[in-house]
Homo-oligomer: A and B are copies of this chain.
């Protein structure tokens, strides 16, 4: 029986998590995965070569159906090409997280697809290789200058340090078990490209020193489980001061999170989602309810997520053999 026919008998449903990138001081180098929300993807191997996206739900028709224009499709195409595959793939993408929210929506779809096919094929590829395929998919959404913090956090799970982008050098950082994240997503749109344009190409050396002092503090805090240090180190002095202008009531949300017990609060990725870290689920919930109440009072529709750090990354929901 040819390989592709054996694989054809398998249908897999996977989950890939939303992610928080930057994480305060770690602009472009820190990211972590959430347990919720995330994307689900159904994938099966087909005898016919090529990639077919037969269905996408949960995104109001915003995402392209053509595989080569879709991050999940582009990632799988890169993987099939590397395999020299004489078979194809058919998938259904269930978006279960907001697009353009700053929570790594395109990264989740890219990771879901390569993780799914790799699982069906009995893992011919390691994480580093899956990362390169997912990067190819992300390029469709982000252009040539892909940032790895969302993809890496989604694929590796846990908290990651992107020490280097070229070549990719992803380091897993341990996190305390009771570290929780609150994410509030105001339903307004900010294009990543616009948010990036707001940043200056040059920054003062003194500002940079403050930022890398905080980066060192964040990593140390996670290794030492030192929440006080984490709280002091989370502050982003580079991107947040300019990007927060695009997020309505950012300062109020920040103050409210801190007043309700957050260790720190900043922008998730390029926004508009705002995240807060806290010790323990009940504090995370309390913060979330306060933020939600405030935004709703301002007539801003929003989504609220409470999650521990997702240590597993993508996972198989269901594996069906026909």
Q: Which residues of B contact A238 (CB under 8 A)?
A: 205, 208
Q: Convert A215-233 into 0s and 1s, putting 1 for each residue whose CB lies closer than 8 angstroms to a CB of B.
A: 1111110010000010011
Interface string of A27-44 (1 = CB under 8 A from B): 111100000000000000
Are A162 and B208 in touch, CB under 8 angstroms?
A: no
Q: Mark A177-204, 1 if CB is under 8 A from B, else 0.
A: 0000000000000000000000111111
Q: Which B residues lie within 8 Å of A6 (CB)?
A: none
B26 contacts A232, CB within 8 Å? no
Contact check, B201 vs A205: say whether CB atoms are below 8 A apart.
yes
Q: Is the CB of B169 within 8 A of A232?
A: yes
**Are A171 and B217 within 8 A (Cβ)?**
yes
Is there contact, CB below 8 Å, between A200 and B210? no
Closest chain B residue, CB of each to CB of A199: B205
Contacts of A217 in B (CB 8 A): 161, 163, 169, 171
Select A203's contact among B28, B29, B208, beta carbons within 8 Å. Answer: B208
- Which residue in chain B gives the minimum CB-CB distance to A164? B213
Determine the chain B residues whose CB is within 8 A of the CB of A208 once the complex forms. Answer: 203, 208, 211-212, 238
Given known A-B contacts A201-B205, A212-B212, A220 and B27 have beta carbons under 8 A apart: no
- Look across to chain B and name the residue whose beta carbon is closest to the beta carbon of A28: B209
Contact B173 A213 (CB under 8 A): no
CB distance from A206 to the nearest CB of B (A): 8
Contact A205–B203 (Cβ < 8 Å): yes
Q: Contacts of A106 on B, CB cut-off 8 Å?
A: none
Q: Are A212 and B29 touching (Cβ within 8 A)? A: yes
A218–B213 alpha-carbon span in the complex (Å): 12
In the complex, A270 has a CB within 8 A of chain B: no
- C-alpha gap A210/B215 in the complex (Å): 12
Cα separation A201 to B169 with both chains bound (whole Å): 29
Within the complex, what minimum Cβ distance (angstroms) separates A147 from chain B?
Answer: 10
Q: Which of B165, B205, B209, B229 contacts A29 (CB 8 A)?
A: B209
Q: Residue of B at shortest CB range from A163?
A: B217
A292 at the interface (CB under 8 A from B): no
Pick the most buried of A28, A30, A171, A213: most chain B CB atoms within 10 A of its CB: A213
Query: In this assembly, does A113 line the interface, its C-beta being within 8 Å of a C-beta of chain B?
Result: no
Inter-chain contacts of A218 with B (CB < 8 A): 216
Whether A310 sits at the interface, judged by CB under 8 Å, is no
Instruction: Give the complex CA separation of A164 and B234 in angstroms.
Output: 12
Interface CB pairs A-B, < 8 A, 10: A29-B212, A163-B213, A163-B214, A163-B229, A163-B233, A202-B203, A211-B212, A212-B212, A215-B216, A219-B220
Instruction: Known pairs A161-B216, A163-B213, A215-B216; list 9 more (Cβ under 8 Å).
Output: A26-B216, A27-B209, A27-B212, A169-B232, A200-B205, A203-B208, A216-B218, A219-B220, A220-B223
**A-B CB proximity, top 6 nearest:** A212-B212, A163-B217, A208-B208, A202-B202, A219-B219, A212-B215
